[in-house]
Structure 1
Amino acid sequence: MELVNVIDAAVDEVLRTAAAWLGWDGRPVRFDGNAWTPHKSLRRVTDHLIDHLAEIECRLAGLDPLPDHWHGRAVTTHADFARFTETDLEEATSRLTRLAVSYRARLHGLPEATLDERPGPDTWTLREVVHHVAGVTYYARAMAGDA
């Protein structure tokens, strides 16, 4: 699969999975040491996409990426326990597909050398970052209890 489409495929999988959460019974799914709800899963997907898109933008602009201060999956907020409705799925679809398009637009036309440059010994290449971000499907599968 072409790199510019990797995030699209991941977002498509997340949204297909999320469609099954309509009518969620309000009980969190316990998986991998955390409690998962539809809103938490989608929040983590969104946060992960935003975090690494910002990293890519900073790196391409020659700036140091901001450190990650997300609470991550260890935190389940009160808002995460809200009902999950058709409107929530529609909003998530709009949000996540726009983020996927932002990745596609940003990656489009970047030279292979730029994608494979390693700025430091402990730093991923941009190609590795994109493949890592495509792992956001974990958060959707965690809600199903089978990541």
Structure 2
Amino acid sequence: MSADIATETPAEVIIAMVDHVLELAATWTAWDGTPARIDDRVYTPHKAIRRTADHLIDHLAELEARLAGQAPQPDHWHASAITTAADLAPFTSEDLDEARSRLVRLARIWADRLDALTDEQLDDSPGAGWSFRELAHHLGGSRYYADAVGRLS
């Protein structure tokens, strides 16, 4: 188990990831419209926000289904493989406000759900897949999307 897994609660991992994404996003109103090419993919401010939110939603649906004793519904998103026309739009201060509202609320939902689980539920989670603790740390890696765009000011 890594030092982070031992010291940060799963809720703290999710909140820290969203804080990191939004810290970088605060600089994206300076984006010049040139997509970043990282690891054979293309990233833009809108795409980084979309992928972060989609990742949180996808795994939240998984967690809730597993807690309910159901098989998670597979997602059909194209994920990072596509860059939509909307992803290429300028990133405005209004977009930043929307991203803050969306991601902070998603992080709070995750934190509330994770904090309500016992350590046993976090580590010996129902259903197939990662434990919920591992899932939270996996989601912490969503920093990648924002890091692909980087700090722009």
Q: What TM-score comes out, normalization by structure 1 length?
A: 0.92
| One-letter code aligned to 1:128 | E
Per-residue deviation, residues 89-127 of structure 1 (Å, max 9, x unmatched): 01000000000000011112311111111546x621111
3-state SS of the aligned residue for 2:95?
helix
In structure 1, the gaps of 5 or more residues are none
Which residue is 2:118 aligned to? 111
Alignment of 1:55-74 (within 5 A): 55-74=62-81
Q: Does 1:19 align with 2:26?
A: yes
RMSD: 1.5
Q: Does 1:89 align with 2:96?
A: yes
Deviant stretches of 4+, over 6 Å? none
User: In the superposition, relative to structure 1, how do residues 57 and 119 fare at CA in structure 2: closer, same or farther (>3 Å)?
Assistant: closer
Residue 62 of structure 1 and its aligned partner are, at CA, apart by 0.9
In the alignment, which of 133, 143, 150 is matched to residue 144 of structure 1? 150
Counterparts of 2:106 and 2:144, CA distance in 1: 17
Aligned residues with identical type, % of pairs: 53
Counterparts of 1:91 and 1:123, CA distance in 2: 32
In structure 2, the gaps of 5 or more residues are 1-7
Give the paired residue count: 144
In the alignment, which of 54, 57, 72 is matched to residue 50 of structure 1? 57
